[in-house]
Amino acid sequence: AQTVTQSQPEMSVQEAETVTLSCTYDTSENNYYLFWYKQPPSRQMILVIRQEAYKQQNATENRFSVNFQKAAKSFSLKISDSQLGDTAMYFCAFMKGGGSEKLVFGKGTKLTVNP
């Protein structure tokens, strides 16, 4: 079974600075997808960024980028120019390839952006 580990229960960052959230996963699969979801205080889960395991290039979405290290099974999220609206829980998630749509989530990292 796949597992996802987020080793930082809480983090904080000053507005406009950069922060990196860590995620590691365990799988024997070669084809899979990785995701970062954001859950603000409103509770609504929102997809931040997605990475296909077969792609070597790291995914980027505006201020959000990932560092995907397949051999190390590491998938960290970097938030640049942090904004107050980035305050939220961030969840790393794994999905096996080959047709399965089952997401396995980590326990989350609570990020606070301070003014």
- Beta carbon of residue 19, minimum distance to other proteins (angstroms, whole number): 21
Q: Is 106 in the site for other proteins (CB under 8 A)?
A: yes
- Beta carbon of residue 113, minimum distance to other proteins (angstroms, whole number): 22
* Exposure string over 45-71, b if 16+ CB within 10 A, otherwise e: eeebbebebeeeeebeeeebbbebeee
Q: Which of 21, 75, 108, 113 binds other proteins (CB under 8 A)?
A: 108
- Beta carbon of residue 27, minimum distance to other proteins (angstroms, whole number): 16
Nearest alpha carbon to residue 52 among 94, 15, 101, 21: 94
Instruction: Write out the binding residues for other proteins, residues 34-53 only, by CB under 8 A.
Output: 35, 42-47, 50
Q: Which chain residues interact with other proteins by CB under 8 A? A: 33, 35, 42-47, 50, 91, 95, 100-108
